[in-house]
């Protein structure tokens, strides 16, 4: 909740001050040094990034890349303020930013289809959306979460029947034991952890609930002003990143070891199992890694507008680009 409110406040301040780009003059010399801010602690969503670094793909493009975790400052804030050239974000986050007039743009979909889900311990008896009624949902308190729960329960004819509890960064399993019944997870992280620790979950994938919910999460972002000045550096960065994710998509064991070697404190069994699970899903059924469809951007934005959390007139075609991707 705190991070979500911080982001909205920051975006409003940027819009009020004219969203001045903090882009520097064109980089000169080699290698160029660039920074990418993660959305969270390192996990399998980031494996292609670490593979590009470890296998020398960035170096081959004349780049030195620093990977930083966001802390209290989220990736869109760092990118919009010129403190990072690239960031890992989400389609809904980019949509809100652009609605506030902040010119961040999505350059690639990290995973082609939404791997997030509503999840509950099997003991809770939550097997369908109808079973949410009378239960406690644990989340961040964000606008999308609240609108999504409201939309689903209205569709079931049970509006207002779910109690929302802000659990923030609390552990999913511990929270479900004490104060909530279900939450919103990434299957490749929490779902795999449940399998490993033999804690059966009932899973409802978001993409199975409505076509609009198969949105891109996460995505790679940059700031439009910076891209205009540094087009060549951006294309070289994305070429290396594309190669990294193509490698991770077909070499799960090696990609897991690269991630474990690069980031301290990760659960080795979880990373290895999660990497196997995500194999083939980075590109999925897209023509090439990172590809984004205007229909998907427009569909989710349309749902957000219908729910009253996004002003009308959002231009989906301006929120993303495939221009910087290797289209092969």
- Write out pLDDT tens, residues 78-102: 999 999 999 999 999 999 999 988 8
Assigned domain for 328 exists: no
Assigned domain for 182 exists: yes
pLDDT > 70 in the chain, percent:
91
Separation of alpha carbons 222 and 219, rounded Å:
10
Domain that holds residue 190: 116-213
pLDDT recorded at residue 161: 96
The reply to whether 272 and 127 lie within a common domain is no
Residue 187 has pLDDT above 70, yes or no: yes
The reply to whether 183 and 91 lie within a common domain is no
Assigned domain for 324 exists: no
pLDDT recorded at residue 312: 86
Angle among Cα 215, 226, 224 to the nearest 5 degrees reads: 40
Structurally, the chain folds into a number of domains equal to: 2
pLDDT > 90 in the chain, percent:
82
Mean pLDDT (whole number) for 30-42: 86
Q: List the strands of the sheet with 32-37, edge to edge.
A: 63-68, 32-37, 86-89, 219-223, 104-109
Phi first, then psi: give them for residue 210, nearest 5 degrees. Answer: -165, 135
Secondary structure (H, E, C), 96-157: HHHHCCCCEEEEEECCCCCCEEEEEEHHHCCCCHHHHCCCEEEECCCHHHHHHHHHHHHHCC
Q: How, if at all, do strands 136-139 and 182-186 pair?
A: parallel
Residue 138 has pLDDT above 90, yes or no: yes
CATH code of the domain containing 303? 3.40.190.10
Separation of alpha carbons 259 and 47, rounded Å:
6
Q: Which of 216, 193, 218, 211 lies closest to 203 in space, CA to CA?
A: 193
Show the beta-strand stretches assigned E in 44-103. Answer: 63-68, 86-89
Mean pLDDT (whole number) for 205-221: 97
Residue 19 has pLDDT above 50, yes or no: no
Q: Where is the domain boundary, 213, 238, 255?
A: 213
Mean pLDDT (whole number) for 274-300: 97
């Amino acid at each position: 909740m705190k991070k979500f409110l911080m982001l909205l406040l920051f975006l409003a301040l940027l819009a009020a001050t004219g969203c001045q780009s903090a882009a520097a003059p064109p980089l000169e010399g080699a290698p160029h040094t660039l920074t990418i801010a993660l959305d969270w602690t390192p996990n399998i969503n980031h494996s292609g990034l670490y593979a590009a670094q470890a296998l020398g793909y960035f170096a081959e493009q004349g780049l030195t890349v620093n990977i930083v975790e966001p802390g209290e400052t989220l990736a869109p804030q760092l990118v919009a303020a010129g403190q990072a050239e690239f960031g890992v974000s989400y389609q809904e986050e980019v949509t809100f930013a652009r609605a506030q007039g902040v010119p961040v743009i999505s350059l690639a979909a990290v995973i082609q289809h939404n791997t997030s889900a509503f999840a509950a311990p099997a003991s809770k008896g939550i097997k369908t959306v109808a079973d949410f009624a009378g239960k406690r949902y644990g989340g961040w308190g964000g606008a999308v979460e609240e609108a999504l729960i409201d939309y689903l329960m209205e569709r079931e004819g049970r509006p207002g029947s779910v109690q929302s509890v802000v659990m923030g960064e609390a552990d999913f399993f511990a929270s479900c034991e004490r104060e909530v019944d279900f939450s919103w997870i990434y299957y490749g992280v929490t779902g795999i952890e449940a399998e490993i620790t033999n804690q059966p979950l009932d899973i409802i994938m978001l993409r199975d609930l409505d076509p609009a919910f198969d949105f891109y999460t996460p995505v790679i972002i940059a700031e439009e002003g910076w891209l205009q000045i540094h087009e060549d550096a951006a294309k070289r960065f994305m070429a290396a990143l594309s190669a990294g994710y193509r490698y991770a998509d077909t070499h799960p064991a090696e990609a897991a070891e690269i991630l474990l070697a690069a980031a301290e404190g990760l659960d080795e069994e979880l990373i290895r199992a999660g990497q196997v699970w995500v194999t083939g899903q980075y590109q999925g059924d897209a023509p090439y890694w990172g590809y984004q469809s205007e229909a998907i951007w427009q569909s989710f934005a349309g749902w957000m507008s219908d729910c009253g959390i996004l002003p009308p007139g959002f231009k989906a075609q301006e929120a993303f680009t495939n221009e910087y991707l290797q289209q092969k």
